[in-house]
Amino acid sequence: MAGLARSLASLRIAGDDLDPNEITALLGHIPTTQQVKGEVIVGKVTRQVRTVKIGMWRLKATESLPADLDQQIDEVLSKLTPDLSVWEQLSTRYHMDLFCGLFMVESNEGLSISAKSMKALGERGIELGLDIYAPDPEDETDS
């Protein structure tokens, strides 16, 4: 089995009453993006206007080619407080996940996540979410 071609990962913290500035202060790092419930946002591409339904604080990892979730998890968590009491406080108030996009170029690719990475996420109450994208049949060449 070949390794997964590409991965994206983003820590997301979400909640109705989420104040991005409070999260930044607690975690010790500015987010990649943030939003507050009720905020009006104009889509960058579509230009459609929408009202944000939930507050969100996001910190994206660098895209990995080939996929390396262990490195991306370490990249994100190393920027943030190691104080597990802060993470416990956040996990009781908000939904937290590491949202990952996994992209295949062949029909049988895979990856492993180390016990160290799983422990680090678990200790912080961070759920692991995986979106797996199959190869595009139009990208395959005929032999």
Whole-number Å distance between alpha carbons of 29 and 11: 12
Tokens 């998890």, residue located: 73
Domains: count for the chain: 1
Question: Which of the four pLDDT bands, split at 50, 70 and 90, describes residue 21?
Answer: very high
pLDDT at 142 over 50: no
Domain that holds residue 71: 2-139
pLDDT in tens, 40-71: 888 888 888 888 899 999 999 999 999 999 99
pLDDT in tens, 106-121: 888 889 999 999 999 9
Considering the chain, what is the average pLDDT of its residues? 91
90-93 contacts at long range (C-beta below 8 A, 24 or more positions apart): 90/13, 90/23, 90/26, 90/27, 90/125, 91/124, 91/125, 91/126, 93/15, 93/17
pLDDT at 102 over 50: yes
